[in-house]
Structure 1
């Protein structure tokens, strides 16, 4: 089974690309969705201990936590030490389930694929990318987003040029959804000729 890492900075179009993979019957593990699930209960006590007063009704309040991290960026390392091991567990369960059902390709959608080292444990790395001005415009249109939050997120990620240079495939998402989908279709065709060993090396056990 080929393990594909799909990544890109905030506002670059990961969700659009992931949807296209799913339309082809290729399952995608959404790391952001897993974080939402963990914040809703399983990790709430741990995060409350690390970041007091970050819960609302027993769940992590993302607005409160985000405000705390904007004011205290060094807290990201503490948060990552809590969250990343659980994300890794979720990825392993997902890949093992996909392997068991006979999937030939499975995708891990991970925003910090390069930054957190996950690029080492996949066979193929796909980066979705768009010019910075387009990214900024998209992100600042999101409810509750501010310039400060945007800059904090971007500061945690490696430069866009470096991501593109380290990718096996780059998807330009500056244009239409149809154009993005066409690029994903071409990549899926090319994936059929690639043999990977990441699952056996990193995920089976």
Structure 2
């Protein structure tokens, strides 16, 4: 099995590319989705989060605003939260690998792959990229997004140029959708010859 790490900065089209891998029959583990499930209604980490941060959960699982307020600017609190969430995400990842043990290729969709050292846990890295003006326009079109918030998010992420330089493969999304899909298909065909059409 080849483990492919998929990453890209905000607004680059990573979720769209992840869906294209799924369309090609490649199993995709979405780290963010795993966290949302774990913290959602009946989620596995909800009781531990409530015990450590009282008042931050309810019938709908974790109240993200309340939890953010409880850990923001408090390194010890953040480490405590990570100590609850990270092992559970690790277990979800292990379950995913077990469930897809026969797959020749799997994708790990990890937004902060380089920032967390996640590239060490995969065989190859794919970076999704677009021109800076395209990225900015896409991101600012999101509900609630402001230029200041966008700049603050970018400041916490590894620059796109560095991501591309460190990648094994780059998929461009500032082109026609069919062109991006063709890049994904070509990569799958290259890495899994038996998947060629």
Q: TM-score range by the shorter chain?
A: 0.7 to 0.9
SS at structure 1 position matched to 2:145: coil
Residue 94 (str. 1) matches residue 61 (str. 2)? no
Q: Which residue of 1 aligns with 2:159?
A: 159
Cα 1:29/1:45, change in 2 over 3 Å: same
Residue 72 (str. 1) matches residue 79 (str. 2)? no
How far 1:187 sits from its partner (Å)?
A: 1.1
How far 1:183 sits from its partner (Å)?
A: 1.0
Q: Which residue of 2 aligns with 1:150?
A: 150
**Whole-Å separation in 1 of the counterparts to 2:172 and 2:143:** 25
Cα 1:53/1:133, change in 2 over 3 Å: farther
1:49-95 Cα deviation digits (max 9, x unpaired)? 555543343522234445677x6385655544432222222111111
CA contact 1:73–1:152 (8 Å) conserved in 2: no
**Whole-Å separation in 2 of the counterparts to 1:45 and 1:93:** 21
What is the TM-score of this pair, normalised by structure 2?
0.82
Alignment: residue pair count: 190
Q: Which residue of 1 aligns with 2:20?
A: 20
SS at structure 2 position matched to 1:84: helix
CA contact 1:16–1:177 (8 Å) conserved in 2: no
**Whole-Å separation in 1 of the counterparts to 2:131 and 2:30:** 24
Residue 182 (str. 1) matches residue 182 (str. 2)? yes
Deviating beyond 6 angstroms after TM superposition, the runs of 4 or more aligned structure 1 residues are none
**Whole-Å separation in 2 of the counterparts to 1:135 and 1:73:** 31
**Whole-Å separation in 1 of the counterparts to 2:28 and 2:35:** 15
Cα 1:65/1:147, change in 2 over 3 Å: farther
SS at structure 2 position matched to 1:9: coil
**Whole-Å separation in 2 of the counterparts to 1:110 and 1:128:** 11
Structure 2 portions without partners, runs of 5+? none
What is the TM-score of this pair, normalised by structure 1?
0.79
**Whole-Å separation in 1 of the counterparts to 2:132 and 2:108:** 24
How far 1:153 sits from its partner (Å)?
A: 2.9
**Whole-Å separation in 2 of the counterparts to 1:73 and 1:136:** 30
**Whole-Å separation in 2 of the counterparts to 1:151 and 1:82:** 29
SS at structure 2 position matched to 1:170: strand
Structure 1 portions without partners, runs of 5+? 194-205
